[in-house]
Structure formats: C-alpha cells, structure tokens
Chains A and B, each alone.
Chain A
Amino acid sequence: MNILVFIKQVPDTNEVRIDPKTGTLIRDGVPSIINPDDKNAIEEALRIKEEHGAKVTVVTMGPPQAEKALREALAMGVDEAVLLTDRAFAGADTWATSLVLAKAAEKLGYDLIFAGRQAIDGDTAQVGPEIAEHLNLPQVTYVEKVEVLDGKVRVRRAMEDGYETLLVKTPCLLTCIKELNNPRYMNIYDIFTCYAKEIKKMGIDDLGLDKEEVGLVGSPTKVKKSFTKGPKAQGEKFDVPPHEAATIVCEKLKGMHLI
C-alpha cells in the first residue's frame, strides 16, 4: 500500500502578523514547523504502516527551505519525501496549490492520501478537499478515526454535534484533525539517517503543468488588501443602576443610527 501525506511548513505561531505595507505574512524571526494537523496525518500513516505494512511518502510544495519539514517527517519515520518546488509555484492560492499537489499524486501513485484539516497560517481547510476533486477521489474531512479494511476504510468524521461513520472505497483522501491521534516525536534512529536520504525534487516540467495553471498566475483568488484589525477605542464607562444604563445604551445606539 502506498500512502501519500501532504504536509505544509508553517510559522510556529497561531498569531501570524501581517506587514501592513505589503499585506504579506511576517515570517522573520518565527521558527518554522510542520503544520500541527499535518503531523496527525503523518502519525496516522505511520500507524497504518506499522499495522498493515505500507510505504509512506510525505509531499510538500514550498520554497527550498521547506526541506526542513520533510527532514523532520523522515526523522519521525516516513520512508520517502518529495519537495515540489519551482519559482513558478510562488504566490499560489489553494486552487493552484492543490492542482500541483494532485499532479504530484498522479505521478507518485497512491492507495490512500492523508492531509491535515487546515494550516494554522492560512486556515482555509480547502487544499485537501481540492486535491480530491482534481483527482476525482472520494474524500472525508475532519477525520478522527481510521480503520483500514480490504479495499476500503472505515472512517469516523467529527461533526459539531456528534460524529458520522463512513465506509469509503480506496483510493480516497482523508483530512485529519488533532483528535485522530498523538503524533510521535522524531527519534534518534531516524534523526541520524534522515539527512543521508535523498529528497526527490519535482518542478513544473516534472509535473507536466503549464505556467498559466500554477503560482500567482494560476490563482483565481485575488487579494485586494490584507490588514490587521486596528485597536479598539477604550470606550466610556458609566457607573449607574441598570435602568439608567439601558437608557444610555439605547440613546448611544440611536445616535449611531443602529436602532
């Protein structure tokens, strides 16, 4: 069984700051990590490998520095790592990104694909589902339990008010949430061999894509403006009984033409 895991390297923070002038993410001084949900995806693939036997390949699209995330995955015990890197990929939105990842999946071959639910920097939760659409694969999102059966998987999907259990034919794509498992640590054995392993690099030509389909050019999303919400004014404080307070609030709202 070939398992592909799509991962993303993200800044190690939940509060990504945006440069007010350029509207882009400020990454300076913030260490990079494997996106947390993607670690759950790696763990699940490794767990299945240990239980049923499989080859686990991690794939990421990113600049050359994203190699660090792949080395970390190798140090957790995955078998192979692929870096999809090309200047033409820069500035991609989720559509252009998922197209590149889907093409890579076609080239690499797969029986099962894992991705994290969403990345902590973009928070879109779109890339996983879009890969499945490009590949015309069944997909299950918000996966919190996976059981591998013959030719299919039984998957439990978290809902707001409960869960759904689905039986899905493989190949399929599953997006993982943190409730799925506890990602393992890197280990000394694999840490000391991970830099000796070759990381396969694939660019636009290897994937057979056109420049118009990828990167900023291939992205239907157009960002008009990115900004950080300005600080709120302090407000006024009234120390009065409740009925007087209600009157004051109403007057203020009327004054703002809100009621």
Chain B
Amino acid sequence: MDFSLTREQQLAKEMLEKFVENEVRPIAAEIDETEEFPIETVKKMARLGMMGIPFEREIGGAGGDFITYIMAVEELAKACATTSVVLSAHTSLCCWPIYAYGTDEQKAKYLPKLLKGEHLGAFALTEPNAGTDAASQQTTAKLEGDYYTLNGSKVFITNGGYADIFIVFAMTDRSKGTKGISAFIVEKGFEGFSLGKIEDKMGIRASSTAELIFKDCKVPKENLLGKEGIGFKIAMSTLDGGRIGIAAQALGIAEGALNEAVKYMKERKQFGKPIATFQGLQFYIADMATRVEAAKNLVYKAAWKKQTGQNYSLDAAMAKLYASETAMYVTTKAVQIFGGYGFTKDYPVERMMRDAKITEIYEGTSEVQKMVISANILK
C-alpha cells in the first residue's frame, strides 16, 4: 500500500500551488462579488495544459493522469470554488463523455480544442422539472433527414454562458422511458440554440450557471453521442466520474477553510492570549482536520480506482457524500472560529461557507448519493 504521489504528481502539485497563489486566490473574492466568469484564468490554465489533464497527448490532451486532474480541482478549490468547478464540469462532464462514447470522427473534431482549452465544455441534463428525477426529460429530439431537431430547455448548466460545446440530453422516444433518452454534442452556434437566464446564486457565483433554450435547434445527426437510447446510461456514467471532481472541490473548500481557521487562531488574541490556546476551539480544529483527512482518503481512493480501471461508482458516491458534508461542517465551524469577523466579507470564510453548500446539491444531492451507496450495499 502506497499513499505517496509520483514524482510527476509532486511536480504538478508544486506548480498548482504556485498557480493558485499567484493567479487564483488574488481574484477569488472579487469574482464572487462581481459574478464575472474567470475567463482569463481559464486561458492561463489552458496554456499550462490544465484543461485536458487526464487525456492522452495524441488526442490533444496534456498526457497527465486522473489523480493529477483531481488534485488540480482540489488545489483550485482551496482558494476559489468557482474556478475549480469550471475545470471539473469541463473535464468530467464534457470532455470525458466524448472521449468515452464518441466516434473517432467526433473525438477528432471536438477533443483537441476542448482539451487544449480553446473550447470550454458543459453538460446539460437538468431541466426545470427534471432534477434528481433526471429520467423525466421534457426536451425532445426528432430525426428529420440529416438533422435532429431539439426542442425544450435546460437549467442550472455550469459554464453555460461561456461554453462552446454542450453535451445535451433529450428524449428521442418517450415510449421507452429512460431507454428513450439520447445524448448529443451541441455547439453554441447551432441554429435554434440560445442562452436564457443566468442564475444569481448563493455561492460559486462566477461560474455562469445558465438556462439553455432549444427552439427547433438543428443538430447534425452525426452529433448523436453513442447510439439512440443510451443517453441515460451516458449521463449516469458521466456523473459517476464527475462526482469525484465535485468531491475534490468540496475537499479543497474544506482544506482552504481549515487553513484560514488555523492561521486566524494563531493571530487573534482574546483574554490576552491567542485563541489557539483555548481548548474549546482546539477541539474544533481536531474535528475539522480529522474529517478533512477522512474526506481526502475517500476522494483519492475513488480517483485511484478510476485511474486504475476499477469500478468506482460506490467510492465516488461515498467520497462525494462525505467530502461535501465535510465542506459544510468545516466552513461553518471556520466562520464560528472567526466570530463576528467570519460573518463579514473582510475574510474569505463566509464565501467558503456559501460555496460549500452547492457541493451537497449538484451532480447528485447527498440523498442521491445515499441511494447509490445503499443500492450498492444491499444488492
């Protein structure tokens, strides 16, 4: 058993830490305030190969590995949850399904630009009436000649306002239920595609969470991903991997808040001594650090299983459930440790607490993770 990073992963960690300190942390509070999508940061990440970490160089990827990708999401989230989810949604939810289910032509057409970060990716499954109940898709796709015609709308699409390529799910045959759902690669310039509302959110405020509208949107039939009717399978398997990304994001948020709390406890004095000397708060730190470590082990074990080709569905669900709850616990405690200052925007912990909440909700709520976990255990 070996918990150590490879030499390459170690170098990547050093690079990521520097990048985050210099390029990400300084603007995290500002983009939270302005809701301005960090497009310049994404361009910088692209130049460093960060938008295609776990994919082979032959198809335009950076030639890294899945653990390094997860580490990148984690390191970004320590300073800025928004930037981390941009990377996670792009990599896990758009690049991966094209890589796993695309034809050679689709891969050759879309992956090089996505993996080099020249294009940004997104994933469009959720609808106003199809959240956790993702199977009740209202968006339809009808084959007419050389095109599928898409009608309907999607909501809460991460990266939505800035993405170039979308993986869109739609009903091709309602009579077949979940087996009637298909997946499509949609370019933002396709006729009949438009953006709707951009959400004003509690956290990850700069991540451009958009509504997508399809009005007789013409999608070339060669842009069907996989076969007709396997869309639900594509969505579920994509989300299995995506969960490790969100778990890493939650872990990073928790680590970021823990670091802030430790720093503050050593500086802040009350009753004539640093508040780090008070046992009540020391016990908070012990609980926070222990949960962070447990979350980290779950996240990296899931990532290792995916990287080594093992079945990771159960591990990913456990990692996502526990890491997101840890993020909520640690950030809430961090605000408590900061007291009144923690409730202000002078310190980053209030932002971290707002950012943490979404990790218990998107890419499968905590309740969905429990369904996945129990179904695996009780089968």
Shortest B138–chain A CB gap in Å is 40
A72 touches B11 (CB 8 A): yes
Chain A residues with Cβ below 8 Å from B171 are none
A195 touches B8 (CB 8 A): yes
A24 interface residue (CB < 8 Å to B): no
Shortest B66–chain A CB gap in Å is 12
A193 interface residue (CB < 8 Å to B): yes
Q: Do A188 and B49 form a contact, CB below 8 Å, given A75-B15, A193-B63?
A: yes
B292 interface residue (CB < 8 Å to A): no
A189 touches B8 (CB 8 A): no
B372 interface residue (CB < 8 Å to A): no
Q: Do A192 and B18 form a contact, CB below 8 Å, given A71-B11, A72-B11, A75-B11?
A: no
Q: Do A188 and B48 form a contact, CB below 8 Å, given A75-B15, A193-B63?
A: yes
B15 touches A189 (CB 8 A): no
Could you give, for residues 174-207 of chain A, a 1 whenever the CB lies within 8 Å of some chain B CB and a 0 otherwise?
A: 0000000000011111011111000000000000
Q: Interface of chain B, helix or strand or loop or mixed?
A: helix
Q: Count how many chain A residues have C-beta atoms less than 8 Å from C-beta atoms of the other chain.
A: 13
Tell me the complex Cα distance, A36–B23, Å.
Answer: 18
Q: Count how many chain B residues have C-beta atoms less than 8 Å from C-beta atoms of the other chain.
A: 19
By beta carbon, the residue of chain A nearest B50 is: A188
Quick one: which of B18, B63, B65 contacts A189, CB cutoff 8 A?
Answer: B63
Shortest B5–chain A CB gap in Å is 12
B12 interface residue (CB < 8 Å to A): yes
B63 touches A185 (CB 8 A): no
By beta carbon, the residue of chain A nearest B65 is: A192
B18 touches A188 (CB 8 A): no
Q: Which chain B residues (89-109) contact chain A, with CB distance < 8 Å?
A: none
By beta carbon, the residue of chain A nearest B12 is: A191
Q: Which chain B residues (38-87) contact chain A, with CB distance < 8 Å?
A: 47-50, 53, 57, 62-65, 68
Tell me the complex Cα distance, A185–B17, Å.
Answer: 11
Q: Do A188 and B53 form a contact, CB below 8 Å, given A193-B63, A195-B7, A195-B8?
A: yes
B343 interface residue (CB < 8 Å to A): no
Quick one: which of A187, A189, A194 contacts B57, CB cutoff 8 A?
Answer: A189
Shortest A257–chain B CB gap in Å is 46
Could you give, for residues 139-170 of chain B, a 1 whenever the CB lies within 8 Å of some chain A CB and a 0 otherwise?
A: 00000000000000000000000000000000
By beta carbon, the residue of chain B nearest A75 is: B11
With contacts defined as CB atoms under 8 Å apart, how many contacts are there between chain A and chain B in the complex?
A: 48
Q: Do A185 and B18 form a contact, CB below 8 Å, given A191-B64, A192-B62, A192-B64?
A: yes
B2 interface residue (CB < 8 Å to A): no
Q: Which chain A residues (60-75) contact chain B, with CB distance < 8 Å?
A: 71-72, 75
A188 touches B62 (CB 8 A): yes
B11 touches A189 (CB 8 A): no
Shortest B19–chain A CB gap in Å is 6
Tell me the complex Cα distance, A195–B68, Å.
Answer: 16
A187 touches B48 (CB 8 A): yes
B133 interface residue (CB < 8 Å to A): no
Quick one: which of B7, B8, B48, B65 contacts A185, CB cutoff 8 A?
Answer: B48
Chain A residues with Cβ below 8 Å from B57 are 189
Shortest A40–chain B CB gap in Å is 15
| Centre residue among B11, B14, B47 by max chain A CB count within 10 A | B11
A188 touches B12 (CB 8 A): yes
Chain A residues with Cβ below 8 Å from B15 are 75, 185-188, 191
Shortest B352–chain A CB gap in Å is 25
Q: Which chain B residues (126-141) contact chain A, with CB distance < 8 Å?
A: none
Shortest B24–chain A CB gap in Å is 12
Chain A residues with Cβ below 8 Å from B47 are 187
Chain A residues with Cβ below 8 Å from B62 are 187-189, 192
Could you give, for residues 174-216 of chain B, a 1 whenever the CB lies within 8 Å of some chain A CB and a 0 otherwise?
A: 0000000000000000000000000000000000000000000
B63 touches A188 (CB 8 A): yes
By beta carbon, the residue of chain B nearest A189 is: B49
Tell me the complex Cα distance, A121–B264, Å.
Answer: 32
Tell me the complex Cα distance, A193–B49, Å.
Answer: 13
Shortest B92–chain A CB gap in Å is 16
By beta carbon, the residue of chain A nearest B15 is: A186
Tell me the complex Cα distance, A193–B56, Å.
Answer: 12
Chain A residues with Cβ below 8 Å from B64 are 188, 191-192
| Centre residue among B57, B62, B68 by max chain A CB count within 10 A | B62
Instruction: Rank and list the top 10 A-B pairs by shortest CB-CB distance, nearest first.
Output: A188-B49, A188-B62, A186-B15, A187-B48, A192-B63, A189-B49, A188-B64, A191-B11, A187-B49, A192-B64
* 11 A-B contact pairs sorted by A residue (CB < 8 Å): A71-B7, A71-B11, A75-B15, A185-B48, A187-B15, A187-B62, A188-B15, A188-B49, A189-B62, A191-B64, A194-B8
Name B residues whose Cβ lies closer than 8 Å to a Cβ of A: 7-8, 11-12, 14-15, 18-19, 47-50, 53, 57, 62-65, 68
